[in-house]
Amino acid sequence: MGFGNSQSMFNNLLQNVVNSGNKRYIIFGGDDVHAGGVSTAEATRRYQQFASIINNVLGTNIPYRSSIGNWEDSTTDLFRRYINPYLTGYVGIPGTQGLVRHLWLDNANRRWSQDSLNLLRSLDPNYYYIIDFHWPLRVPGITNEIHDDHLMTQGETDMFFNAIPANVRNRILAIFTHHAHKLFSNSVPINPNFSNTPLYVTGCSGDYACKSVDRGYYDLNLTIQNNIATLQTTPVRVQ
């Protein structure tokens, strides 16, 4: 919000998302508001615009959470007030009887917050997880597609993987990242210990200079059978 014609673009895009299929939960990936480098009053106005569209389109029927992005890192008080009171955390995804949790982390300044690492280390193997954070990891299958300055460092990437307990590694259904101006998913395993975990980049949903063919978001369909969760992910291209 606050970049180009983002207000009308976001309003139309979010309505299309909600009107397509049976949406139960929405995940935003940060940079929701272009708040860096402007006055506090202008940043507040942009946060209020974002919150107004959220309230009008989602209402109280569709819950949502957002991770924090680099454009919001200097205005965390406003982010907490208007978008998400918690910079890290998790919630049970509706319709999964609490079996699948959405976990959001804070790496807005290209480094993991201590709360993020602590949360990863405390993951419970009795649940499945969809993990979301802003900066993409530096992993195979993605580093050739994204400029180096839009990726986490290798050290921070290793820190992420090492923080996840061994008995939880097969419970990570997907990792969603943003920031890089791509709509992209990995084609090879991202880590030897996470051979079945897909990683996605959705950094081209908003009003940045992306090719129209690159714009889009992901629809997720969660299925639970015999207490086993599976995830089907479908890219949705938008103009």
Domains and CATH numbers, the chain: 6-237 (3.60.21.10)
Strands 89-92 and 100-104 come out as: antiparallel
The Cβ-side half-sphere exposure at 231, using a 13 Å CA radius, reads 25
Closest alpha carbon to 80 in 93, 90, 92, 67: 67
Residue type, 63: P
Chain segment 177-236, per-residue pLDDT in tens: 999 988 889 989 999 999 999 999 998 877 666 776 778 899 999 999 999 999 999 999
Q: Residue 201 and residue 204: Cα distance in Å, rounded?
A: 8
Q: What is the average pLDDT value for the chain, to the nearest integer?
A: 93
The radius of gyration of the chain's CA atoms, rounded to the nearest angstrom, is 17
Which residue, 56, 235, 31, is CA-closest to 132?
Answer: 31
**Predicted pLDDT at 196:** 93
- The pLDDT value given to residue 204: 85
Residue 8 pLDDT > 80: yes
Residue 9: in which H helix or E strand, if any?
A: helix 6-19
For residues 216 and 144, the model is more confident at 216
- The pLDDT, as a whole number, for residue 207 is 64
Pick the closest to residue 50 from 25, 33, 74 (CA basis).
33
Number of H helices, E strands in the chain: 5, 10
| Structure token pair of residue 81 | 């007030």
More confident residue, 153 or 145: 153
0.85 exceeded by the pTM? Answer: yes
Pairwise CA distance, residues 59 & 33, whole Å: 19
Amino acid at residue number 115: D
Report the alpha-carbon distance of residue 163 to residue 64 in Å, rounded: 26
Q: What is the pLDDT of residues 71-103, one digit of tens each?
A: 999 999 999 999 999 999 999 999 999 999 999
Backbone φ/ψ region at 89: left (φ over 0), alpha (ψ -120 to 50), beta: left
Q: What is the mean pLDDT of residues 157-180?
A: 97
**What is the DSSP pairing of strand 199-202 with strand 228-237?**
unpaired
Beta bridge partners of 176: 132, 200
Percent of the chain with pLDDT over 70: 98
